[in-house]
Structure 1
């Protein structure tokens, strides 16, 4: 079998070959002692890895003191890696101790009493199913460790080289009987000292994998640090388009500036005091048109030479207040309806704008969106104000007409009166009141009463009073027997609209054909 180049893995593969041979031979004391030597070497390596990993964790703590904001996300991930790795290491250690106990424990010198025993490893790992459980946990740990590698290229590389790998050797299907399971391959009928050594090897893989991941995380701290080799001024304005009455706020500094060096800043001839390398100036916006803010930033020379100055210029615009107040349906407010209104003010955040109405009620339902209700015909005025720099400023007002919802159209079926087929009329159940071509959807009228009269050829005139939209029962039979040439009259019709006011509708007649 070809052996990989890694010396530790070479050692493990040679050990597997020896274990296979031991199944058919009496195990000599020299072989058992050899396993003890390998086991002690792995334990020593594990301690060295633990010390190395602890050093990296301390470096995270040291970096936190320098730049907590940058280091904290990587330190948090490293702490997670430490926690899950330690938990898995301790779990493997518990399996080692269980196998040793099951084999008879240790003697007064701390050595395993029955190093050659084959029953304990098989019973614990195969019969008691601890082997499959260990396999699943190791796979889960590998996946979790790789999840902390957020750079795809680095993840692909680390995934190939991560020591913690769960695989069965190429000899697993030798000697017939099909492929062996991972548990059978590693622990079935192997001596106690060999099983303990194999588990120690997995602990070593855990420590090595932990080391690889935290090394990557520590390296990412500096990988995300920008190196600046030029210095230039910059200016940041809260807005380049303002209204009269608003305040321009400008943050002024130099690129790659230091919080330990405060520059000398002059803006439009005015000296600005800097704090932690940053200067701020507030300029009231006045006069409509384009404005200019300019000045210099002067830094002392690090070498003690002459100070260096950097000029800057920035422009901004001051415009007149532009407030928009519009009814979402039309320039009319209807009584009894929830009238939607949209309000916006150029240059002013929507959350700083508020509105009120005279002659009605106004409720805000979202950013720049309001609902208005009115109760009396006539006019209503909407006033808009804004909180600008801590002061309430009027942005404008608008007058709206207030009207009642239009009268509906009386219908039987889809017909508004006049000529209608007798067959169509007879299958209808009552009188309707519909709004046509109205801006609001879903506005309905309720028919609450009317008098219906039926003039049929060769029959006496029939009439009845309805207390709802449905035809009254006194004329139902006459309606079912209608024929072409008959006439149906509706008068004294009462309807109720969304304003809950009862309206009288004009009479209408249907001539059947």
Structure 2
């Protein structure tokens, strides 16, 4: 962004242009005195700009102390700009001193003795080539200053930077074209040369202001502007019981009521009003729950910012609850799921043990797997730890039972009759648990004896050690007709508990 020129600065620039034009016509005492006035005004302006720059550098120093990691890189650039600008400013001050000395010095009032002397400037700047050296140094300083400008602003700063070394269009007009030093310093009185050098000093200080202020703005370019404050309270627990300690972290939070972020909670967007999103849902189920999602917000630099968030809470019963997820019974040989919650305690603070004859494995906060080895009863004891103190809060007895016997089937039929066509397409015997609280529990067929009593034929019998029908009976199976009988005896099966159990005989009448 270009530095706005105040009216005083505009007046100085205008006066300098008018006086320079008048030099081509006549060099009178009035014109020389006018240059002296302009030069003094430029010097005053330089002091004002220097004071402004000093305040900016002090702001940089204060912010560096508060946040060195963030401000440090920009402060370093600002310091480099100051060093480069001061060096060039002092170089010009030395040239002005040379012109004063070469023109005869100052009088008792501190003014130039020979303001209208016209040879000194041309001698120093053109004959001795100091003007060419000055142009090269000013171009180098301009390049250094612009290296501190972000790429997206470089074109604008290149156009508006006060330190501009390009020649005006009129310098290239006419038969005799002038180069930069000749255009500025050929045959000008010494007061005009000094005023011009003061103007370059003014351009340097104003350019320094533009660059340093932009660097200071870059420090906070990505900062959000917050216009609202609100108190927030975070409790150590969402549920408490009498005698427990409540702890709260209380803080002030800032947000912007003019910025509407996009907030996604558990995969769905929520309404946002005055910069605050509100989420509500009816909770269900016991144990730990999570609210998570993403906040999307366009930053001051135009880039989209995504900030994930996650917060957990606990859903508990009105009192301590120890519940077998299937029913109030543990089965030998199975993994019996167990859920434990206690009002006033987060799930992660709860621990459970089981008496001899069983074991508990914690799968997640509030969830366990119970395994038992013998029938009877076991007791589950629950403790809770809070503020470094562990205490017993509940216990409950559970019955321990063996799994019920499975039902023997051929195909989907459990007898006592079955069509011949349906029987013939089956390949073996099955042992299924029916209407059991656990899904997917399987029993393996260990052994059985299969007998076929067909009309007009001798009874045949074979023993199998797998679910499949004995291969030697395949012909008899294919020959089954209505009125024949198939018997399954000496049946043994093995369940998930590893126990081999015998089942009663089953008869199928073929019809």
TM-score range, shorter chain: 0.3 to 0.5
Q: TM-score, normalised by structure 1?
A: 0.48
- Whichever of the two has the greater Rg, that structure is 2
Q: TM-score, normalised by structure 2?
A: 0.48
